Amino acid sequence: MITSRIEALRRLQKANGIACVVLMPGANLRYFTGLEKHLSERPLLAFLPADGEPVLLLPELEAPAARSLLGREIRLFTYRDEEGHEHAFYRVAEALNLAGQPLGIEYLTMRVLELRRLEQAFPDCPIMAVEPWLPPLRMSKDETELAHMRRAVRIAQEAMQRLLDEKAIRPGRTELEIAADLKVALLRAGNQGDAFAPIVVAGPNSAQPHATPSDRPLAEGDLVIIDWGAVYAGYRSDITRTFILGQPTEEMQRIYRTVRTANKAARLTIRPDRTAQDIDRAARQIITQAGYGDYFIHRTGHGLGLETHEPPYIVEGNLDILKPGMTFTVEPGIYVPGLGGVRIEDDVVVTEDGVETLTTLPRELIAL
């Protein structure tokens, strides 16, 4: 168990009147316990009371690995496949003896299966969301976390450089073929998981920020957006670069310069005590003044760490104050139907006196 993180969680639990936090497999479970598990038909839950011994409910087949990692710092309640998991929830409820006190759950992660079992086993305990108060514990990364994120950035950048060196992005090849090449290059560079499925979209498809790769062949004159990331020790990178096949038109060049200027303006705005909203406004102002405000159709960025999308969200209306150690993306974009899109995305960390940009790939428009 990661003691300092658990103690910080307990302080927040008590401040918010939560007797016990219940965690599903995912980023929070890994952050507070070190357990890296995936969702399956077999429920696995960690119960972290504000006072008392943590409890882990899990299949018996998972118990040896959990005990090896966690030692005796957590009490295990196991179940076998043939008997099912329902009785294990009642055993946990009896052991915790919460007497109607609130349970905090991850509204964005918990499934109906686990929620129904909790409601049955803890019928008098109010169910409350942890999202309003738990995220700040993970927003500021320590040096170990930042080292993992820097490694994830290096892996992603090395993979892209391999594609450029091999001239894999060229007319005639399909978006799907290039996406497949990128996945292989990421593995060769040391990728340890899927940050997300790479986005490779060209020509008219690039006007859709989250389009998926298709079997459309790339053509001369296409703008090509590639959005990809890597995972190292659980921490993610998330990078986007835009290329041009052949020579760009004057409008393409104007759009690209605008996005690059917006990206730079946003990164120069980052420092402690600014708000997330300030960063979004810095990028959006540049794009709006250039006449493309209606074509910037998403927020300027999102937090990055154990999840590819996590707080803080760099968007109008978010008054969260930036603090050293916060990591997030800066990714302004312009998307013109029929013409294509441009997005330039960097990963950054707030420092004591400003910002460090973790990504180092060129931001100039590269003609392929």
Q: What is the mean pLDDT of the chain?
A: 96
Residues 210 and 292 both lie in one domain: yes
- Confidence bin at 313 (pLDDT 50/70/90): very high
Q: Does the pLDDT of residue 1 top 70, yes or no?
A: no
Long-range contacts of 29-38 (CB under 8 A, 24+ apart): 30/234, 30/306, 31/2, 31/5, 31/137, 31/138, 31/306, 32/1, 32/2, 32/5, 32/6, 33/1, 33/2, 33/70, 33/74, 34/1, 34/2, 34/69, 34/70, 35/66, 35/69, 35/70, 36/234, 37/62
**What is the Cα–Cα distance from 237 to 328, expressed in whole angstroms?**
9
CB of 344 within 8 A of CB of 332? Answer: yes
236 falls in which pLDDT band (50, 70, 90)?
very high
Verify that 169 and 305 share a domain, yes or no.
yes
Distance CA 333, CA 201 (A): 14
Position 142 scores a pLDDT of 96
Q: Are residues 160 and 98 in the same domain?
A: no
Of 134, 150, 168, which residue constitutes the final position of a domain? 134
Whether residues 109 and 147 fall in one domain: no
Q: Does 147 lie in the same domain as 129?
A: no
Is the confidence at residue 214, as pLDDT, over 70?
Answer: yes
- Tens-place pLDDT, residues 17-50: 999 999 999 999 999 999 999 999 999 999 999 9
Q: Which band of pLDDT confidence, cut at 50, 70 and 90, is reported for residue 2?
A: confident
Domain that holds residue 333: 139-367
Q: Determine if residue 325 is left, alpha or beta; phi over 0 gives left, psi from -120 to 50 gives alpha, anything else beta.
A: left
**CA gap 46, 74 in Å, rounded:** 9
Give the domain-ending residue among 134, 169, 194: 134
* Of 130, 69, 78, 72, nearest in space to 311 by CA: 130
Answer whether residue 130 shows pLDDT above 80. yes
- Tell me, yes or no, whether 204 and 352 share the same domain: yes
Same domain, 207 and 281: yes
Does 73 score more than 80 pLDDT? no
pLDDT at 72: 76
Q: 87, 112, 134: which is the final residue of a domain?
A: 134
What is the average pLDDT across 272-282? 97
Q: Residue 180's domain is classified under what CATH number?
A: 3.90.230.10
For residue 204, pLDDT over 90 is answered with yes
Q: Are residues 246 and 173 in the same domain?
A: yes
For residue 161, report the phi and psi dihedrals to the nearest 5 degrees: -60, -35
**pTM as predicted:** 0.94
pLDDT value of residue 282? 98
For the domain that residue 118 is a member of, what is the CATH number? 3.40.350.10
Across 195-220, average pLDDT: 96
Please tell me the predicted confidence (pLDDT) of residue 205: 97
Burial 297-317 (b: 16+ CB within 10 A, else e): eebbbbbbbbbbebbbbbbee
Per the structure, the count of domains in the chain is 2
- Provide, rounded to the nearest whole percent, the portion of the chain with pLDDT above 70: 100
